[in-house]
Each structure stands twice: as C-alpha cells, then as structure tokens.
C-alpha cells in the first residue's frame, strides 16, 4: 500500500512548476498562503492550463471541476497554493511525485 503524498512535498513540487509556468518567472517565495490570482497574477485560463499540466505531471485525471465548484460557492474565490496542495494530496500518491533532478 502506498502512502499518500504529503502536502509539503506537493507544495515544493508546485513551487518548481511555478518556477517557469507558461514562460513566466515568479520571483519571491511561494508558500501555502500564496494566492493564484491576487499574488501570482494568474487569469482563469492559466488555472485551466495549470490543471492540465498537473494532470500530465502526475499521470492521472484529477477532479478539478469539483475544486472549482467549491471555489465558486465561497465569498473569496482566490485559490491558495496550500489549498491546491491539499486537493492534490487527496488525489495522488507519493510514488507519483516527480523526483528532483540531481
């Protein structure tokens, strides 16, 4: 039985993804409270592209429709990296995390 991926490991992986997402380089620290729209300046289409990239990265379909539906029911509709890491931790396994390149 595999262990679920940890949120800190996924958060570190997300930081690597955002190092050069869509040709953009984000300077400054990324943490669990970093917000997609307010802090990173992403647009809705960027969230869609990111979702597709994460499904490819982790090699499985992920129910982003559910995540977006939950966001749509809240007053603050900005997503934090911590929320995304928790979502991913619930849907991927530790062995699926890409290994850091030496």
Query: What confidence tens digit (pLDDT) does each residue in 35-77 have?
Result: 988 888 888 888 889 999 999 988 889 998 898 888 889 998 8
Q: What CATH number does residue 21 fall under?
A: 1.10.1200
Report how many domains make up the chain: 1
Percent of the chain with pLDDT over 70: 83
Nearest Cα residue to 78 out of 43, 36, 39, 25:
36
Give domain status of residue 101, yes or no: no
pLDDT at 40 (0 to 100): 87
Give domain status of residue 53, yes or no: yes
Give domain status of residue 11, yes or no: yes
Please, what is the average pLDDT of the chain?
A: 82
Give domain status of residue 88, yes or no: yes
Nearest Cα residue to 38 out of 93, 77, 65, 86:
77
- Token pair recorded at residue 18: 């955002």
pLDDT at 29 (0 to 100): 83
pLDDT at 19 (0 to 100): 78
pLDDT at 72 (0 to 100): 86
pLDDT at 61 (0 to 100): 92
User: Any residues with CB less than 8 A from the CB of 22 and at least 6 apart, and which?
Assistant: 46, 49
Give domain status of residue 102, yes or no: no
Give domain status of residue 87, yes or no: yes
Range of the domain at 30: 7-96
Give domain status of residue 28, yes or no: yes
Among all chains, which residue has been given the structure tokens 């990173």?
40
- How many C-beta neighbours within 10 Å does residue 24 have? 12
How far is Cα 1 from Cα 66, in angstroms, rounded to an integer? Answer: 26
- Rounded mean pLDDT, 8-22: 85
How far is Cα 28 from Cα 54, in angstroms, rounded to an integer? Answer: 22
């Amino acid at each position: 039985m595999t262990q679920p991926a940890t949120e800190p490991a996924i958060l570190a992986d997300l930081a690597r993804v955002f190092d050069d997402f869509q040709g953009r380089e984000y300077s400054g620290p990324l943490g669990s409270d970093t917000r997609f729209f307010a802090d990173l300046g992403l647009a809705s289409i960027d969230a869609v592209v990111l979702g597709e990239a994460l499904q490819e990265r982790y090699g499985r379909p992920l129910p982003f429709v559910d995540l977006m539906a939950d966001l749509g029911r809240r007053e603050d509709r900005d997503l934090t990296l911590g929320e995304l890491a928790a979502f991913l931790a619930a849907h991927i396994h530790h062995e699926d995390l890409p290994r850091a390149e030496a």
